[in-house]
């Protein structure tokens, strides 16, 4: 890793934060590693750490919404295709979720699952109607039919309500 020349002039870190965020992050990391705590831009550092947590939480919530939408399509759509695309999306979303999920985020998801489902329900209905599956769109349940464990489980899929069975996997 390349050494960073640290600016020690008072206020330099705050100026750098506004002028070059990437350089500011490198400088703050170098100050932390050097244990030069008095020189840290604590105000901005605390804000950025908090924002990082919010970004990770939002990314996890986004994947849960994405998974719920595709589970609904697999379960309620009478069409045989595009089931493969839904499954590919589920694999991708679950991999991302697995990489990011922590105990505190899992707790957040348990609490937020009804709201996340309510947010995705209109999108799932629109997607089904776009493919001419109006009855399937009307039949989507108002409350989330999936547990968080089912949403997170890599290979779990709901049974299709129209008896559609995948020939290949």
Confidence at residue 166, expressed as pLDDT on a 0 to 100 scale: 75
pLDDT digits (tens, 9 = 90+) for 138-154: 999 999 999 999 999 99
**Across 115-143, average pLDDT:** 96
**Across 35-48, average pLDDT:** 94
**Across 110-138, average pLDDT:** 96
Q: 115: pLDDT confidence band, cut at 50, 70 and 90?
A: very high
Report the distance separating Cα 107 and Cα 126, nearest Å: 30
**Across 46-68, average pLDDT:** 96
pLDDT digits (tens, 9 = 90+) for 93-103: 999 999 999 99
**Across 45-66, average pLDDT:** 96
Question: Tokens 């919010």 label which residue?
Answer: 54
User: Is-contact 125 137, C-beta < 8 A?
Assistant: yes
User: Is-contact 125 77, C-beta < 8 A?
Assistant: no
Q: 84: pLDDT confidence band, cut at 50, 70 and 90?
A: confident
Residue of 54, 51, 60, 61 lying closest to 115 (CA atoms): 61
């Amino acid at each position: 890793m390349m050494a960073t020349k640290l600016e020690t002039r008072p206020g330099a870190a705050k100026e750098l934060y506004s002028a070059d965020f990437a350089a500011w992050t490198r400088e703050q990391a170098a100050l932390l590693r050097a244990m030069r705590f008095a020189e840290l831009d604590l105000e901005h550092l605390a804000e950025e750490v908090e924002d990082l947590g919010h970004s990770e939480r939002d990314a996890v919530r986004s994947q849960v919404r994405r998974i719920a939408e595709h589970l609904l399509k697999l379960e309620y759509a009478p069409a045989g295709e595009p089931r493969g695309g839904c499954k590919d999306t589920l694999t991708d979303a679950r991999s991302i979720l697995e990489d990011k999920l922590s105990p505190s985020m899992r707790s957040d998801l348990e609490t937020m699952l009804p709201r996340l489902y309510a947010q995705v329900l209109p999108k799932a209905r629109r997607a089904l109607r776009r493919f001419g599956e109006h009855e399937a769109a009307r039949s989507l349940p108002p409350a989330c039919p999936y547990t968080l464990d089912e949403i997170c489980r890599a290979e779990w899929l709901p049974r299709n309500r129209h008896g559609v069975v995948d020939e290949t996997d």
